[in-house]
């Protein structure tokens, strides 16, 4: 598993997840492209994760995790070969798509979406209101 070791970026993402402003402009592709591996691995204890899968087909396509440990934050994940890529338009995004032939389900994950959902999972987990992992189905593209 590759870990992104840029502490300024990690701190900025964690600050946004916790609702604190940051002077660093974030692009999800900047930290995810170096943080996601294709080999199966487990997320670290104490981390929170977002899992993505197609609602029509079984199996996880991608898992993104964030581990906010004392003093530092690491990111990582795993994804199926061919199931994700980056979109560098605007502020950038990660695109996850179903790998089943003929399926066109996909999701575009913007920085705002990732920060908001990692923040919700982290908050719910820390307050005992939820699990450390949330599952998100891909949606049919609208045109």
Domain presence at residue 28: yes
Q: Is the pLDDT of residue 18 over 60?
A: yes
Q: Look at the chain and report how many structural domains it folds into.
A: 1
Round the average pLDDT of the chain to a whole number and report it. 75
**Residue 26 above 60 pLDDT?**
no
Instruction: Give the list of residues 6+ apart from residue 45 with CB closer than 8 angstroms, or none.
Output: none
Q: What is the pLDDT of residues 62-102, one digit of tens each?
A: 988 888 776 667 777 888 888 988 777 766 788 899 999 99
- pLDDT of the residue at 135: 93
| Residues 34/64, Cβ–Cβ less than 8 Å | no
| Domain of 109, in residue numbers | 7-137
Q: Is residue 46 part of a domain?
A: yes
Q: Is the pLDDT of residue 50 over 70?
A: yes
pLDDT band at 8 (very low <50, low <70, confident <90, very high): low
Q: Per the domain annotation, does 15 fall within a domain?
A: yes
**Phi-psi region at 90: left, alpha or beta (left = phi > 0; alpha = psi -120 to 50):** left
User: Does 142 fall in a domain?
Assistant: no
Q: How many residues does the chain have?
A: 143
Which tokens sit at 44?
């670290």
Q: What is the mean pLDDT of residues 32-36?
A: 66
- Mean predicted confidence (pLDDT) in 111-136: 87
Give the pLDDT confidence score for residue 5 in this predicted structure.
44
Mean pLDDT score, 36-45: 70
Question: For residue 1, is it within any domain?
Answer: no
Task: Look up the pTM and report it.
Answer: 0.74
**29 neighbors 93 (Cβ within 8 angstroms):** yes
């Amino acid at each position: 598993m590759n870990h992104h070791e840029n502490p300024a970026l990690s701190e900025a993402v964690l600050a946004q997840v916790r609702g604190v402003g940051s002077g660093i402009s974030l692009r999800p592709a900047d930290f995810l492209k170096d943080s996601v591996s294709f080999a199966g691995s487990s997320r670290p204890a104490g981390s929170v994760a977002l899992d993505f899968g197609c609602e029509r087909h079984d199996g996880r396509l991608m898992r993104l995790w964030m581990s906010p440990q004392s003093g530092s934050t690491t990111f990582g994940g795993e994804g199926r070969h061919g199931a994700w890529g980056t979109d560098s338009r605007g502020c950038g995004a990660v695109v996850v798509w179903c790998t089943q032939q003929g399926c066109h389900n996909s999701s575009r994950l913007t920085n705002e979406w990732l920060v908001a959902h990692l923040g919700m999972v982290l908050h719910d987990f820390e307050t005992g209101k939820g699990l450390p992992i949330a599952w998100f189905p891909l949606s049919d593209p609208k045109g």
